[in-house]
Chain A
Amino acid sequence: MLLQFVFSGCTLGAAYILAALGFSMIYNASGVINLAQGEFIMIGGMSAAALSALGIALPMAIVAGVVIAALIGAAVERLAIAPTRKADTTSIIIITISVSMVLRGLTEIILGKENHSLPPFSGDQPIDFQGASILPQSLWVFALSAIIVVALAFFFGKTRFGKSMLATSHNRLAAQLVGVDVRKVMMSSFALSAAIGAVGGVALAPITTVAYDTGVMLGLKGFVAATLGGLGSGLGAVFGGLFLGLCEAFTAGYISSSYKDAVPFVLVFLVLTLRPQGIFGVKSADRV
């Protein structure tokens, strides 16, 4: 029984990790908390499913879905985030919430309200191990997250563009002065984050099905997971997501399934009051 709870937690966690990575990515690049991240995940899954239903071959549909999400991410940055760069945290959060409403509403109008699914990458025969089972698709989600984390670490640490992205988030003016095209950086960060989300959406769709409102809860919990692990840290996102998933599964298993949804928020409350920067985050100091 315990092992099944662990597997269950891993499946839940895998979804949260992907959402958290997107949050961390954008936060790293621009300091923005993008509450529309869940919608990027949803758009990836929905576009791929819609294109696939139209008869386009699955791999093509997936790629197209990710590209569409990336384009939308860039558009969001240009249209909604860039003009309000100087606004304070509260306003920016509201703007991203309004973006999520627009994206959700448009998806509902264009693609309808029903659930859609995608075929799993490698079949849906569950893998049994010591009396517990896990879907191969869940392992795929993990594998993808791992690849993304490694890729992001390489990107931010070793590539010029990635480093310029980090530089922009730390000090925009200084970055501009050394020749970084901050506009391009900002746009790319959103596009990249949307693409990451979309990949997640496509990987999750076979497990959970997608609908126009799939992004809401996922985005929220991704935000929680990212905060738990420390915003801006790739490793933190992975840890936060996994930790969250496991806590939920164990609460459902051992305590009460009705209250398992309260777990993320109780956890985040505790972490924020005891260690505000998250488990892996870096303590930031405000300049007076």
Chain B
Amino acid sequence: MRRSFFSVLVAGLAALASPVRAADAPPVKIGAVLSLTGGAATLGDPALKTLQLYVDKLNGQGGLLGRKLELVAYDDGTEPAKANGFAKRLIDDDKVDVFIGGSTTGSTMAMWPAAEKADMPFISLGGGLVIVDPVKKGLFKVSHNDRMIAEKALMDMQKRGIKAIGLISETSGYGQSGRKETLALAPKYGVEVVVDETYASKDTDVTAQLTKVKANPKAEAIFVFGFGQGAMIVTKNIAQIGLKLPHYEATGSASEDYIKLTGAASEGVRLPSPAMLVATQLPDADPQKKVSVEYTTDFAERYKSDASTFGAYARDAFFLWVDAVKRAGSFDKEKVRDALEHTKGLVGTCGVINMSPQDHLGLDISAFKMVEVKNGAWTLSQ
């Protein structure tokens, strides 16, 4: 009797101790609200593909903590009001365990009230400083924010002895917050903004605004803060009117498409970029090299096209979460949130991430690389 009881006990304990087979436990859901259509479609589309890529990959390797992952993604059409609605759907209806997304700052901030109420760990892909400043308990971000973009560019300008610039910013959230940061930081680097113009992302011609820069004798360089198609048109117009000043762009133009569609006009353009764009040129000792090269290879293998920085942010967000889950040993929202906050030394394509309760970005500006278009290709610049 005792023996059989004992053996039952042992069998029971053994059963408890063995990991739950993936087929038995329900999948862990990752909720993603991305801009797959609308003005920010170039941000959301690679992000979705990247998330799908790595969810599938991890599932193929047996899942996370023995459970399969499932990606639930919605398109907010670059409309924060829709993002707000989908946030609630993800929380209440789909019952996800984490939010990755908000391709834009607007969408992120629209989703935040609902996420906050639900104590949902939320890793944003948006670029605005406001996402992490002031720090919000469950909200984290992975990409360098607009202040850092401005700072990196201004540092480079200072290094090259540039004292006055013309600033052309896009009327989108990205452009306007970038403009605000640039205007605030410029004096610190001894730079004066002598021309301050804007353009809309769908403009077909911005030579009127650029002419003002050209006509201003004090301007020694031009800084364009925008992304995608709009920035490409600005670049082409700069070449068209023969504006031969040093030309800086924002990280929004850090893509292969930018060079492809602007052609010779982009030669010599400098911008701050995540290392991913020049992954193969990094010295082997640079920790970002391995993950960046891996990412571009993985992406190209599955999607047969170039990876973009926006997809890279999604990759970093995904692995940030995976790392936190592993350290927390569970998917519990509170534990994962705490683990996220204590991320240390995690290497992402954007840099080495070291979070803290006061810093929910965890990147410093050194991870940002200054790159230049040389002979029609992105090259690492010192």
Contact = CB atoms under 8 A, between A and B. Distances in A.
A257 B257 contact: no
A204 B240 CA distance: 16
Query: Of residues A133, A257, A261, which shows the largest number of chain B Cβ atoms within 10 Å of its Cβ?
Result: A257
Nearest to B215: A1
B261 A209 contact: yes
Contacts of A15: 204
A11 B205 contact: yes
A133 B204 contact: no
B68 to A, nearest CB: 29
A11 B240 CA distance: 12
Dominant SS among interface residues on chain A: helix
Contacts of B41: 113, 213
A133 B242 contact: yes
Given A8-B205, A133-B241, A207-B205, A113 B42 contact: yes
B209 to A, nearest CB: 5
Interface stretch (B192-200, B313-321, B338-346): B192-200
Interface string A47-69: 00000000000000000000000
B171 A1 contact: no
Contacts of A207: 204-205, 236
A4 interface: yes
A14 B197 CA distance: 23
A113 B171 CA distance: 21
Given A115-B257, A217-B202, A258-B198, A126 B208 contact: no
Interface string A189-202: 00000000000000
A15 B205 CA distance: 10
B211 A8 contact: yes
Contacts of B233: 208-209
Given A216-B202, A248-B208, 11 more contacts: A8-B205, A11-B205, A113-B45, A115-B229, A115-B232, A124-B263, A132-B211, A133-B207, A133-B240, A209-B229, A249-B205
A216 B201 CA distance: 12
Contacts, number: 91
Interface residues of A, number: 39
Contacts of B240: 124, 126, 133, 135
A252 B38 CA distance: 25
9 contacts: A11-B204, A11-B205, A12-B204, A113-B42, A128-B242, A133-B241, A133-B242, A214-B202, A217-B202
Contacts of A214: 202
Nearest 3 Cβ contacts at the A-B interface: A8-B207, A252-B208, A4-B211
B261 A249 contact: no
Nearest to A125: B240
Query: Of residues A115, A216, A218, A261, which shows the largest number of chain B Cβ atoms within 10 Å of its Cβ?
Result: A115
A117 interface: yes
A145 to B, nearest CB: 15
Interface string A240-262: 00000000111011000110110
Interface in B216-241: 228-229, 232-233, 236, 239-241
Nearest to A217: B202
A79 B233 CA distance: 37
Contacts of B229: 115, 208-209, 211
A5 interface: yes
